[in-house]
Amino acid sequence: MKPIRILVVDDSVVIRKLLSETLSEDPALEVVGTASDGRFALAKLSQLKPDLITLDIEMPVMNGLETLAAIRKLHPKLPVIMFSTLTEHGATATLDALSLGASDYATKPSNTGSFPIAIERIRAELIPKIKALCGTATAKIPGLAVARAASKLQPHINPWVEIVAIGTSTGGPNALAEVLPRIPADFPVPIVVVQHMPPIFTRLLAERLASRSAYPIEEGSSGTTISPGRAWIAPGNFHMKVIRTGLSSRLTLNQDAPENSCRPAVDVLFRSVAKAYGANVLGVVMTGMGSDGVLGAKDICEAGGNVIIQDEPSSVVWGMPGLVHASGLDDACYPLDQLAGEITRRVLHSRESRSHPDVRKTTVEQRAQ
Protein backbone atom coordinates (compact mmCIF):
# COMPACT_ATOMS: atom_id res chain seq x y z
CA MET A 1 0.00 0.00 0.00
CA LYS A 2 1.34 3.43 -0.95
CA PRO A 3 2.05 5.84 1.93
CA ILE A 4 -0.31 8.75 2.56
CA ARG A 5 1.17 11.87 0.91
CA ILE A 6 1.08 14.92 3.20
CA LEU A 7 1.67 18.62 2.59
CA VAL A 8 2.56 20.52 5.79
CA VAL A 9 1.61 24.21 5.79
CA ASP A 10 2.80 26.34 8.73
CA ASP A 11 4.63 29.64 9.07
CA SER A 12 6.82 28.31 11.89
CA VAL A 13 10.07 26.67 10.80
CA VAL A 14 10.13 24.74 14.07
CA ILE A 15 6.61 23.35 13.61
CA ARG A 16 7.26 22.44 9.96
CA LYS A 17 10.39 20.54 10.98
CA LEU A 18 8.69 18.88 13.96
CA LEU A 19 5.70 17.75 11.91
CA SER A 20 7.76 16.61 8.94
CA GLU A 21 10.15 14.51 11.01
CA THR A 22 7.51 13.01 13.30
CA LEU A 23 5.07 12.14 10.51
CA SER A 24 7.81 10.70 8.31
CA GLU A 25 8.80 8.25 11.04
CA ASP A 26 5.56 6.37 10.35
CA PRO A 27 5.99 4.10 7.32
CA ALA A 28 2.37 4.69 6.34
CA LEU A 29 2.97 8.43 5.95
CA GLU A 30 5.11 10.53 3.62
CA VAL A 31 5.61 14.29 3.88
CA VAL A 32 5.96 15.33 0.23
CA GLY A 33 6.42 19.03 0.88
CA THR A 34 6.06 22.02 3.17
CA ALA A 35 4.92 25.61 2.74
CA SER A 36 5.26 28.66 4.97
CA ASP A 37 1.95 30.28 3.97
CA GLY A 38 -1.20 29.64 2.00
CA ARG A 39 0.03 31.23 -1.20
CA PHE A 40 2.99 28.84 -1.45
CA ALA A 41 0.78 25.92 -0.49
CA LEU A 42 -1.68 26.59 -3.31
CA ALA A 43 1.20 26.90 -5.76
CA LYS A 44 2.49 23.46 -4.76
CA LEU A 45 -0.82 21.59 -4.84
CA SER A 46 -0.88 20.65 -8.51
CA GLN A 47 2.76 19.58 -8.45
CA LEU A 48 2.78 17.54 -5.21
CA LYS A 49 -0.73 16.09 -5.41
CA PRO A 50 -0.97 15.41 -1.65
CA ASP A 51 -3.54 13.05 -0.16
CA LEU A 52 -3.94 15.35 2.85
CA ILE A 53 -2.92 18.81 4.06
CA THR A 54 -2.13 19.96 7.59
CA LEU A 55 -2.91 23.67 7.66
CA ASP A 56 -1.93 26.29 10.21
CA ILE A 57 -4.59 28.91 10.96
CA GLU A 58 -2.50 31.99 11.73
CA MET A 59 -0.07 32.71 8.89
CA PRO A 60 1.15 35.83 7.08
CA VAL A 61 0.30 36.68 3.45
CA MET A 62 -2.59 34.20 3.29
CA ASN A 63 -3.99 32.75 6.51
CA GLY A 64 -5.44 29.32 7.07
CA LEU A 65 -9.10 30.27 6.59
CA GLU A 66 -8.37 32.04 3.31
CA THR A 67 -6.23 29.12 2.16
CA LEU A 68 -8.91 26.59 3.11
CA ALA A 69 -11.56 28.48 1.13
CA ALA A 70 -9.27 28.46 -1.92
CA ILE A 71 -8.47 24.76 -1.50
CA ARG A 72 -12.15 23.87 -1.30
CA LYS A 73 -12.82 25.61 -4.63
CA LEU A 74 -10.07 23.57 -6.31
CA HIS A 75 -10.34 20.30 -4.35
CA PRO A 76 -13.70 19.96 -2.55
CA LYS A 77 -12.91 16.54 -1.07
CA LEU A 78 -9.18 16.81 -0.28
CA PRO A 79 -8.78 16.11 3.48
CA VAL A 80 -7.54 19.14 5.40
CA ILE A 81 -6.63 19.07 9.09
CA MET A 82 -6.35 22.47 10.76
CA PHE A 83 -3.51 22.92 13.23
CA SER A 84 -4.68 25.38 15.89
CA THR A 85 -3.76 26.67 19.33
CA LEU A 86 -5.68 25.67 22.46
CA THR A 87 -6.98 29.19 23.07
CA GLU A 88 -10.34 30.92 22.72
CA HIS A 89 -9.14 32.62 19.54
CA GLY A 90 -7.79 29.34 18.20
CA ALA A 91 -11.02 27.51 19.06
CA THR A 92 -13.17 30.15 17.36
CA ALA A 93 -11.01 30.06 14.24
CA THR A 94 -11.11 26.25 14.25
CA LEU A 95 -14.93 26.19 14.35
CA ASP A 96 -14.93 28.71 11.50
CA ALA A 97 -12.58 26.43 9.56
CA LEU A 98 -14.78 23.39 10.15
CA SER A 99 -17.81 25.32 8.87
CA LEU A 100 -15.78 26.22 5.76
CA GLY A 101 -15.10 22.57 5.05
CA ALA A 102 -12.06 21.53 7.07
CA SER A 103 -12.09 17.79 7.67
CA ASP A 104 -10.77 17.89 11.22
CA TYR A 105 -8.37 19.73 13.50
CA ALA A 106 -5.52 19.05 15.90
CA THR A 107 -4.22 21.34 18.61
CA LYS A 108 -0.62 22.48 18.48
CA PRO A 109 1.62 20.92 21.15
CA SER A 110 2.64 24.37 22.41
CA ASN A 111 4.05 25.21 25.83
CA THR A 112 5.10 21.63 26.47
CA GLY A 113 8.69 22.64 27.18
CA SER A 114 9.79 19.30 25.78
CA PHE A 115 10.23 18.06 22.23
CA PRO A 116 9.60 14.42 23.26
CA ILE A 117 6.23 15.43 24.73
CA ALA A 118 5.38 17.44 21.63
CA ILE A 119 6.31 14.52 19.40
CA GLU A 120 4.20 12.12 21.47
CA ARG A 121 1.19 14.43 21.20
CA ILE A 122 1.53 14.52 17.43
CA ARG A 123 1.75 10.74 17.33
CA ALA A 124 -1.26 10.31 19.61
CA GLU A 125 -3.57 12.97 18.18
CA LEU A 126 -2.61 13.89 14.63
CA ILE A 127 -1.41 10.63 13.07
CA PRO A 128 -4.59 8.61 13.84
CA LYS A 129 -6.69 11.41 12.33
CA ILE A 130 -4.60 11.43 9.17
CA LYS A 131 -5.02 7.68 8.76
CA ALA A 132 -8.74 7.78 9.51
CA LEU A 133 -9.42 10.56 7.01
CA CYS A 134 -7.45 8.79 4.30
CA GLY A 135 -9.36 5.55 4.74
CA THR A 136 -9.11 2.61 7.12
CA ALA A 137 -11.18 -0.56 7.33
CA THR A 138 -13.87 -0.79 9.99
CA ALA A 139 -13.27 -3.70 12.32
CA LYS A 140 -15.86 -5.67 14.21
CA ILE A 141 -15.64 -6.00 17.98
CA PRO A 142 -16.15 -9.66 18.94
CA GLY A 143 -19.18 -10.52 21.04
CA LEU A 144 -21.23 -7.39 20.44
CA ALA A 145 -23.27 -8.81 17.58
CA VAL A 146 -24.33 -11.71 19.79
CA ALA A 147 -25.44 -9.30 22.50
CA ARG A 148 -27.58 -7.29 20.08
CA ALA A 149 -29.02 -10.37 18.43
CA ALA A 150 -30.15 -11.61 21.83
CA SER A 151 -31.79 -8.28 22.65
CA LYS A 152 -33.68 -8.30 19.35
CA LEU A 153 -35.38 -11.53 20.42
CA GLN A 154 -37.18 -9.57 23.11
CA PRO A 155 -40.33 -7.79 21.83
CA HIS A 156 -40.16 -4.01 21.82
CA ILE A 157 -43.50 -3.32 23.49
CA ASN A 158 -42.33 0.00 24.94
CA PRO A 159 -41.10 2.50 22.36
CA TRP A 160 -41.58 5.49 24.71
CA VAL A 161 -38.49 7.75 24.44
CA GLU A 162 -37.59 9.87 27.47
CA ILE A 163 -34.12 11.04 26.44
CA VAL A 164 -31.97 11.33 23.31
CA ALA A 165 -28.22 10.73 23.70
CA ILE A 166 -25.88 11.64 20.82
CA GLY A 167 -22.23 10.67 20.37
CA THR A 168 -19.92 12.02 17.67
CA SER A 169 -16.32 12.96 16.94
CA THR A 170 -14.54 13.71 13.63
CA GLY A 171 -16.94 15.73 11.48
CA GLY A 172 -19.24 16.11 14.46
CA PRO A 173 -19.45 19.92 14.76
CA ASN A 174 -20.83 20.26 11.24
CA ALA A 175 -23.03 17.19 11.68
CA LEU A 176 -24.48 18.59 14.91
CA ALA A 177 -25.08 21.89 13.10
CA GLU A 178 -27.19 19.94 10.60
CA VAL A 179 -29.14 18.01 13.23
CA LEU A 180 -29.72 20.08 16.37
CA PRO A 181 -31.08 23.27 14.73
CA ARG A 182 -33.67 21.12 12.94
CA ILE A 183 -35.11 19.75 16.18
CA PRO A 184 -38.37 21.63 16.99
CA ALA A 185 -38.56 24.11 19.86
CA ASP A 186 -41.25 22.07 21.62
CA PHE A 187 -39.21 18.86 21.60
CA PRO A 188 -40.64 16.85 24.52
CA VAL A 189 -37.43 15.22 25.85
CA PRO A 190 -33.92 16.38 26.81
CA ILE A 191 -30.90 15.85 24.54
CA VAL A 192 -27.42 15.07 25.85
CA VAL A 193 -24.37 15.11 23.60
CA VAL A 194 -20.74 14.03 23.64
CA GLN A 195 -18.57 15.64 20.96
CA HIS A 196 -14.87 14.84 21.27
CA MET A 197 -13.33 18.28 21.79
CA PRO A 198 -10.97 19.93 24.27
CA PRO A 199 -11.94 22.62 26.80
CA ILE A 200 -13.01 26.00 25.39
CA PHE A 201 -13.99 24.34 22.11
CA THR A 202 -17.07 22.65 23.60
CA ARG A 203 -18.38 25.87 25.16
CA LEU A 204 -17.97 27.80 21.92
CA LEU A 205 -19.58 24.95 19.98
CA ALA A 206 -22.60 24.96 22.32
CA GLU A 207 -22.94 28.74 21.98
CA ARG A 208 -22.71 28.53 18.19
CA LEU A 209 -25.31 25.75 17.98
CA ALA A 210 -27.62 27.60 20.39
CA SER A 211 -27.52 30.70 18.17
CA ARG A 212 -28.90 28.60 15.31
CA SER A 213 -31.49 26.60 17.25
CA ALA A 214 -34.99 27.28 18.53
CA TYR A 215 -34.27 25.82 21.98
CA PRO A 216 -31.45 26.28 24.54
CA ILE A 217 -28.18 24.43 24.01
CA GLU A 218 -25.40 24.79 26.54
CA GLU A 219 -22.27 23.18 27.87
CA GLY A 220 -23.10 20.73 30.63
CA SER A 221 -22.32 21.56 34.24
CA SER A 222 -22.40 19.31 37.27
CA GLY A 223 -25.67 19.32 39.20
CA THR A 224 -27.77 20.73 36.36
CA THR A 225 -31.31 19.33 36.31
CA ILE A 226 -32.13 18.28 32.77
CA SER A 227 -35.53 19.00 31.26
CA PRO A 228 -37.38 18.60 27.94
CA GLY A 229 -36.70 20.95 25.07
CA ARG A 230 -33.07 21.62 25.99
CA ALA A 231 -29.70 20.15 25.03
CA TRP A 232 -26.38 19.82 26.86
CA ILE A 233 -22.92 19.17 25.40
CA ALA A 234 -20.29 17.50 27.58
CA PRO A 235 -17.45 19.91 28.42
CA GLY A 236 -13.98 19.16 27.15
CA ASN A 237 -11.78 17.10 29.50
CA PHE A 238 -14.79 15.95 31.57
CA HIS A 239 -16.92 12.82 31.34
CA MET A 240 -20.63 13.65 31.54
CA LYS A 241 -23.21 11.31 33.08
CA VAL A 242 -26.96 11.45 33.67
CA ILE A 243 -28.10 10.44 37.16
CA ARG A 244 -31.78 9.82 37.89
CA THR A 245 -33.46 10.28 41.25
CA GLY A 246 -37.17 9.58 41.21
CA LEU A 247 -38.70 11.59 38.35
CA SER A 248 -35.81 14.06 38.25
CA SER A 249 -32.52 13.70 36.36
CA ARG A 250 -29.34 15.71 36.64
CA LEU A 251 -25.91 15.91 35.07
CA THR A 252 -22.71 14.97 36.83
CA LEU A 253 -19.17 15.58 35.60
CA ASN A 254 -15.96 13.80 36.51
CA GLN A 255 -12.37 13.49 35.41
CA ASP A 256 -12.07 9.74 35.71
CA ALA A 257 -9.58 8.05 33.41
CA PRO A 258 -10.23 8.49 29.67
CA GLU A 259 -12.13 5.71 27.94
CA ASN A 260 -11.17 4.85 24.36
CA SER A 261 -8.51 7.57 24.83
CA CYS A 262 -11.37 10.07 25.15
CA ARG A 263 -12.62 12.40 27.86
CA PRO A 264 -15.48 13.11 27.46
CA ALA A 265 -16.36 9.62 26.24
CA VAL A 266 -19.56 8.59 24.50
CA ASP A 267 -19.49 5.22 26.27
CA VAL A 268 -19.66 6.92 29.68
CA LEU A 269 -22.71 8.99 28.70
CA PHE A 270 -24.51 6.11 26.97
CA ARG A 271 -23.87 3.78 29.89
CA SER A 272 -25.36 6.32 32.29
CA VAL A 273 -28.54 6.96 30.28
CA ALA A 274 -29.10 3.23 29.84
CA LYS A 275 -28.89 2.84 33.62
CA ALA A 276 -31.08 5.88 34.33
CA TYR A 277 -33.78 5.39 31.68
CA GLY A 278 -33.70 1.69 30.75
CA ALA A 279 -35.59 1.02 27.53
CA ASN A 280 -36.68 4.65 27.15
CA VAL A 281 -33.48 5.80 25.43
CA LEU A 282 -32.82 6.73 21.84
CA GLY A 283 -29.07 6.65 21.18
CA VAL A 284 -27.60 8.30 18.09
CA VAL A 285 -24.05 7.64 16.87
CA MET A 286 -22.78 10.03 14.24
CA THR A 287 -19.61 10.56 12.23
CA GLY A 288 -16.40 9.96 14.16
CA MET A 289 -13.07 8.21 14.36
CA GLY A 290 -12.40 5.24 16.62
CA SER A 291 -14.58 2.91 18.65
CA ASP A 292 -16.07 5.20 21.30
CA GLY A 293 -19.81 4.63 21.59
CA VAL A 294 -20.00 0.98 20.55
CA LEU A 295 -19.91 -0.41 24.10
CA GLY A 296 -22.35 2.27 25.22
CA ALA A 297 -24.63 1.33 22.33
CA LYS A 298 -24.51 -2.24 23.61
CA ASP A 299 -25.64 -1.02 27.05
CA ILE A 300 -28.55 0.89 25.53
CA CYS A 301 -29.61 -2.12 23.45
CA GLU A 302 -29.38 -4.53 26.36
CA ALA A 303 -31.57 -2.17 28.41
CA GLY A 304 -34.18 -2.36 25.63
CA GLY A 305 -33.51 1.03 24.01
CA ASN A 306 -32.77 1.76 20.38
CA VAL A 307 -29.67 3.11 18.62
CA ILE A 308 -29.65 4.73 15.19
CA ILE A 309 -26.56 5.79 13.26
CA GLN A 310 -25.39 8.15 10.53
CA ASP A 311 -24.71 6.39 7.24
CA GLU A 312 -21.28 5.99 5.66
CA PRO A 313 -21.65 8.28 2.61
CA SER A 314 -22.60 11.29 4.74
CA SER A 315 -19.98 10.65 7.47
CA VAL A 316 -16.55 12.31 7.39
CA VAL A 317 -15.23 9.16 9.07
CA TRP A 318 -17.44 6.09 9.52
CA GLY A 319 -15.42 4.67 12.41
CA MET A 320 -17.81 5.12 15.34
CA PRO A 321 -21.11 4.51 13.52
CA GLY A 322 -19.46 1.88 11.34
CA LEU A 323 -18.42 -0.19 14.36
CA VAL A 324 -21.91 0.04 15.83
CA HIS A 325 -23.28 -1.20 12.50
CA ALA A 326 -20.64 -3.93 12.09
CA SER A 327 -21.51 -5.19 15.56
CA GLY A 328 -25.22 -5.36 14.74
CA LEU A 329 -26.19 -2.83 17.40
CA ASP A 330 -27.96 -0.24 15.24
CA ASP A 331 -31.70 -0.26 14.74
CA ALA A 332 -31.41 1.73 11.50
CA CYS A 333 -28.99 3.86 9.46
CA TYR A 334 -29.78 7.32 7.99
CA PRO A 335 -28.11 10.03 5.89
CA LEU A 336 -27.17 13.13 7.85
CA ASP A 337 -29.95 15.23 6.33
CA GLN A 338 -32.56 12.74 7.57
CA LEU A 339 -31.35 12.28 11.14
CA ALA A 340 -33.13 15.27 12.72
CA GLY A 341 -36.42 14.27 11.14
CA GLU A 342 -36.02 10.65 12.23
CA ILE A 343 -35.11 11.58 15.80
CA THR A 344 -38.14 13.88 15.98
CA ARG A 345 -40.43 11.28 14.39
CA ARG A 346 -39.40 8.54 16.80
CA VAL A 347 -39.79 10.72 19.87
CA LEU A 348 -43.17 12.14 18.84
CA HIS A 349 -44.42 8.72 17.76
CA SER A 350 -43.50 7.36 21.18
CA ARG A 351 -45.69 10.05 22.77
CA GLU A 352 -48.67 8.75 20.80
CA SER A 353 -48.27 5.27 22.28
CA ARG A 354 -47.80 6.49 25.85
CA SER A 355 -51.45 6.02 26.79
CA HIS A 356 -51.48 2.35 25.71
CA PRO A 357 -52.01 0.20 28.85
CA ASP A 358 -49.21 -2.23 27.97
CA VAL A 359 -46.79 0.68 27.60
CA ARG A 360 -47.84 2.22 30.92
CA LYS A 361 -47.47 -1.09 32.67
CA THR A 362 -44.01 -1.79 31.17
CA THR A 363 -42.75 1.69 31.99
CA VAL A 364 -43.86 1.49 35.62
CA GLU A 365 -42.27 -1.93 35.98
CA GLN A 366 -38.98 -0.70 34.49
CA ARG A 367 -38.80 2.30 36.79
CA ALA A 368 -39.45 0.08 39.78
CA GLN A 369 -36.52 -2.20 38.95
Q: What is the mean pLDDT of residues 157-186?
A: 93
In tens, the pLDDT along 264-313 reads: 999 999 999 999 999 999 999 999 999 999 999 999 999 999 999 999 99
Question: For 328-341, what is each residue's pLDDT tens digit?
Answer: 999 999 999 999 99
Alpha-carbon span 232 to 164, nearest angstrom: 11
Put simply, whether the predicted model's pTM sits higher than 0.85 gets the answer yes
For residue 111, what pLDDT is reported? 62
pLDDT at 142: 57
Catalytic annotation, pick one of 196, 239, 299, 350: 196
pLDDT at 352: 79
- Confidence label for 363 from pLDDT (cuts 50, 70 and 90): very low
214-232 residue pLDDT tens:
999 999 999 999 999 999 9
C-alpha pair distances (Å), 219 with each of 104, 194, 202, 356, 360: 21, 10, 7, 36, 33
74 CB neighbour count, 10 Å cutoff: 10
Q: For position 150, what pLDDT does the model report? A: 44
| Separation between Cα atoms, residue 161 and residue 235, nearest integer Å | 25
Nearest to 10 by CA among 109, 96, 87: 109
pLDDT digits (tens, 9 = 90+) for 9-45: 999 999 999 999 999 999 999 999 999 999 999 999 9
Rounded CA-CA distance 358/62 in Å is 64
- pLDDT score of 141: 62
- 159-172 average pLDDT score: 95
- Contacting residues for 315 by C-beta, under 8 A, at least 6 apart: 171, 175, 286, 287, 288, 321, 322, 336
User: Residue 364 pLDDT more than 90?
Assistant: no
Q: Is 156 a catalytic residue?
A: no
pLDDT value of position 127: 95
Which candidate in 37, 56, 292, 330 is catalytic?
292
- Domains, in order of start, for the chain: 4-133 (3.40.50.2300), 144-368 (3.40.50.180)
Catalytic pick among 20, 84, 103, 169: 169
Q: Is the pLDDT of residue 147 over 60?
A: no
Judge whether 325 counts as a catalytic residue: no
Other beta carbons within 10 Å of 85: 17
- C-alpha 92/C-alpha 204 separation (Å) is 7
Please state, rounded to an integer, the average pLDDT across all residues of the chain. 90
Q: Quick check: 335 and 357 in contact, CB under 8 A?
A: no
Tell me whether residue 292 is one of the annotated catalytic residues: yes
- Length of the chain as a residue count: 369
pLDDT of residue 369: 44
